[in-house]
């Protein structure tokens, strides 16, 4: 089979003709290269390159001829080669922590919502998005991503326990933005909600409903959760309530873990009239555990979650929760990363949160239609 069409003989032949002839033969992708197009157009590779990158140095007629050839042969420039030459990748990595030890899948809907917005924003910049689930000892894996020339920058979702690793990356000056809490001594850029204020408002709301014995459900080893705990304590103290350590229940971010934690609290005979959960997923599991014990929400126990995942409004009872704005969060994450890639400096951003009051905290009747997002 003739590999290279002898199209050089008729450089100006109508593209349509060659389409019909060659379309069939091209089974495998990438078969036609810039050189081929150049030869067919009767120009040099350089001219094709220029034409394709919209250089003004190219004759209009030539450009049109090249364009036609490109279309008809559905030629596409190889980004890999282009990137190698230009020293860029046009792709950024999003790193999601393994939620825990085992190769448990990413499971919190909140992450997916955020990821979706990040994906949109990255695409708007014309970049690709590499998704990477990295386990403990994340830092080295993340460094690799850029050292091996696979990505131009990194977005980490959740700092979880990797604070030190992230500091190392920042020290190396790699473009990096992380979704999470803004810590005092930190040198990397974060975007996140005002965890302390959000939690404080949620708990104050509970107190305003007449609740006094409020359970904290969350994992304080994660920075964001620690701040939420701070807010919880602050709200309590502002109301003259002394935090009871017995109501501080450590829980990981999985439904099952939350269920277990709640059950053991119930079995322990603790008395409480409200729960502040560090995520909606945790809140939902907690409610389930409560109901299984014959308790009603919000009558016996009022519950507030965090995140406002889509399902929160549809749960029964509809969940009162602290909304984190994933749309602007995602976009901000990406914008700040591109600022760094462009060599500009970026500052951490703390997003305001909004307390969305629904039925689970005892104020709204359960039959009110949930607010559409």
Partner DNA sequence: CTGAAAGCGCTAACAC
Partner DNA sequence: GTGTTAGCGCTTTCAG
- 111-140 residues in contact with a second copy (CB under 8 A) are 111-113, 115-117, 119-120, 123, 128-133
Other beta carbons less than 10 A from residue 270's beta carbon: 14
| Nearest residue to 4 (alpha-carbon basis) of 39, 30, 29 | 39
The only residue of 320, 326, 340, 353 in contact with a second copy, by rule CB under 8 A: 326
Q: What is the largest CA-CA distance in the chain?
A: 91
The only residue of 13, 55, 221, 316 in contact with a second copy, by rule CB under 8 A: 316
In the complex, the smallest distance separating the C-beta of residue 230 from a second copy, rounded to whole angstroms, is 28
DSSP letter for each residue of 277-345: ESSHHHHHHHHHHHHHTT--TTTT-EEEEEE--GGGGGSSSPPEEEE--HHHHHHHHHHHHHHHHTT--
In the complex, the smallest distance separating the C-beta of residue 31 from DNA, rounded to whole angstroms, is 8
**Which CB sits closer to a second copy, 11 or 30?**
30
Q: Which does 44 bind (CB under 5 to 8 A by kind): DNA, a second copy, none?
A: DNA
**Which CB sits closer to DNA, 45 or 133?**
45
Does 287 engage in binding with a second copy (CB under 8 A)?
A: yes
In the complex, the smallest distance separating the C-beta of residue 9 from DNA, rounded to whole angstroms, is 16
Query: Hunting for tokens 């907690």 — which residue is that?
Result: 286
What 3-state class would DSSP assign to 60? helix
Does 67 engage in binding with DNA (CB under 7 A)?
A: no
- Tell me the C-alpha distance between 329 and 58, whole Å: 42
- Tell me the C-alpha distance between 332 and 121, whole Å: 9
In the complex, the smallest distance separating the C-beta of residue 159 from a second copy, rounded to whole angstroms, is 20
Where does this chain touch DNA (CB under 7 A) — which range of 74-82, 101-109, 235-243, 306-314? 74-82
Other beta carbons less than 10 A from residue 286's beta carbon: 28
In the complex, the smallest distance separating the C-beta of residue 133 from DNA, rounded to whole angstroms, is 25
Binding site for DNA (CB under 7 A): 30, 33-35, 42-47, 49-50, 52-53, 57-60, 62, 77-78, 81-82, 84-87
């Amino acid at each position: 089979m003739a590999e290279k069409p002898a199209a050089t003989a008729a450089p100006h032949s109508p593209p349509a003709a060659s389409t019909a002839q060659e379309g069939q033969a091209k089974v495998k992708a990438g078969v036609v290269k810039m050189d081929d197009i150049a030869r067919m157009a009767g120009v040099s590779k350089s001219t094709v390159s220029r034409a394709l990158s919209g250089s003004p140095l190219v004759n209009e007629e030539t450009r049109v001829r090249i364009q036609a050839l490109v279309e008809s042969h559905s030629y596409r420039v190889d980004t890999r080669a282009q990137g190698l030459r230009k020293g860029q990748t046009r792709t950024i990595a999003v790193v999601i922590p393994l939620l825990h030890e085992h190769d448990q899948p990413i499971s919190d809907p909140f992450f997916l919502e955020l990821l979706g917005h990040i994906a949109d924003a990255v695409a708007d910049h014309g970049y690709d998005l590499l998704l990477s689930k990295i386990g403990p000892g994340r830092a080295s894996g993340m460094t690799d991503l850029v050292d091996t020339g696979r990505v131009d920058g990194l977005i980490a979702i959740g700092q979880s326990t990797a604070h030190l690793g992230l500091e190392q990356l920042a020290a190396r000056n790699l473009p990096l933005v992380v979704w999470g809490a803004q810590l005092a001594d930190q040198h990397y850029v974060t975007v996140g909600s005002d965890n302390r204020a959000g939690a404080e408002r949620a708990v104050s709301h509970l107190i305003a409903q007449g609740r006094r014995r409020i359970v904290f459900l969350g994992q304080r080893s994660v920075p964001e959760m620690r701040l939420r705990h701070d807010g919880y304590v602050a709200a309590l103290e502002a109301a003259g309530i002394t935090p009871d350590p017995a109501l501080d229940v450590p829980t990981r971010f999985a439904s099952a873990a939350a269920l277990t934690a709640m059950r053991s609290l119930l079995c322990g005979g603790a008395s409480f009239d409200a729960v502040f959960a560090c995520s909606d997923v945790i809140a939902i599991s907690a409610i389930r555990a409560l109901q299984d014990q014959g308790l009603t929400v919000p009558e016996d126990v009022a519950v507030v979650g965090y995140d406002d995942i889509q399902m929160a409004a549809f749960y029964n009872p509809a969940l009162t929760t602290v909304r984190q704005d994933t749309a602007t969060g995602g976009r901000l994450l990406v914008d700040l990363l591109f600022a760094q890639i462009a060599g500009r400096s970026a500052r951490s951003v703390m997003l305001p949160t909004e307390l969305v009051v629904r039925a689970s905290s005892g104020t709204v009747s359960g039959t009110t239609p949930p607010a559409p997002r």
